[in-house]
Amino acid sequence: MGNLINLKKDANIKTLRQVYDCPVVIASGGPSLNKQLDLLKSVRDNIILIAAGSTINSLIAEGIEPDYVVSIDGGIPNYKHFQNLKLENAQLIYTMQSHPGVRDAFLNDCFVTGINGFDAVTEYMEKQLGIDLPVFISGGTVAHLAFNMALYISSGPVALIGQDLAYTDNLTHAAHNINARPIDDKFIKEKEAFQTEGYYGELVWTTKPFYSMKLEFEELVKLGNPDVPFFNCTEGGIKLEDKIDNKIAKVLSFVPLDSMMAPIKMQVMRGFLEKENETVEEAYKRAYAQTETLYKKLLNITKFAKEYAEKVLNDFKEKEGEA
């Protein structure tokens, strides 16, 4: 019922269909995420960052606010990850099954999507409310839906980080996750954990649910767009098979970080997305404001480039004079 109220203010995920053409990074909450955060900060302005559910606290603790957070879980434990947050910029992508309280953590506009396995909900929304949500394969976990969202909103490369699906370094989660803890023999016995091949060829502890998620992920990748490069940059955890680049790609080594235009392009794309049921007048105003913003930013770049070139030239002349 709570999410029915949220529907009044939130948009259909259809409004984000292929609005980006840039790299997308999906951050999950596995222990290996800890080693990726500094590199993630260095490329943050060049990418779209999607957080899978409870990963949000590990990112926020390091000063990293994602563009989107995906939530599907309706349980109280999921809500607890969000209950003390007030996110100014991040936008929630949620299903009707997500805990309605999660929405309260987001001050920005949010988006609603459908997932498979809930035909009655999908039919009710379409016939009774006139809302036709696209339905995606969730694979049973928020990370699977986040992967499908990445393919849906952008035509750019997709990279995974923190998708361990195992207890890397004998930890359950990345730092600052409220459920993070070290594992011991008692934990392994309770979870009926077993060892399997890891990212580096070593043995790692995993569970039947984790292993099932691994198999589902591999199927999702097979079903995905073959023209979209996919990188498993997790650097830890379980080994993923089939057409997945398991080399240590150093998260986003394929992003052109030397381009001055990349961050500006990202800012302009993020700030002027088309709104649901946008009128012609609204579309015109948005396009005008977007063009004006881009023009001003390009002027600033030109000014910076000119001043820098003049400084280099002056320094060169001074050194020539000293010689």
Q: Alpha-carbon distance 320 to 301, whole Å?
A: 28
Q: What separation in angstroms does the CA of 158 have from each of 11, 117, 139, 213, 225? A: 24, 25, 18, 18, 11
Q: Which pLDDT belongs to residue 257? A: 44
Contact between 165 and 238 (Cβ < 8 Å)? yes
Q: Which pLDDT belongs to residue 244? A: 54
Dihedral (CA of 227, 65, 91, 45) sign: negative
| Joined tokens for residue 86 | 């007030």
CA angle 46, 270, 115 (to 5 degrees): 100
Which DSSP symbol is given to 252?
T
Each of the 323 residues of the chain gets a pLDDT tens digit; together they read 678 888 878 889 999 998 888 889 999 999 999 988 988 888 888 889 999 989 999 999 999 999 999 999 989 999 999 999 999 999 999 998 899 999 999 999 899 998 888 888 888 888 878 888 888 877 668 988 999 999 999 988 888 899 999 999 999 999 999 999 999 999 999 999 999 999 888 999 999 999 998 988 888 777 777 677 788 888 889 988 754 554 434 445 555 444 555 566 666 666 667 777 778 787 777 777 777 777 777 777 677 677 767 777 777 777 776 66
Give Cβ neighbours of residue 277 (< 8 Å, ≥ 6 apart).
none
Q: Alpha-carbon distance 60 to 146, whole Å?
A: 18
Buried-state track 161-194, b at ≥16 Cβ within 10 A, e below 16:
bbbbbbbbeebbbbebbeebeebeeeebeebebe
* pTM across the whole model: 0.80
Q: Which pLDDT belongs to residue 246? A: 46
Q: Which pLDDT belongs to residue 188? A: 95
Q: Alpha-carbon distance 4 to 285, whole Å?
A: 30
Q: Which pLDDT belongs to residue 249? A: 46
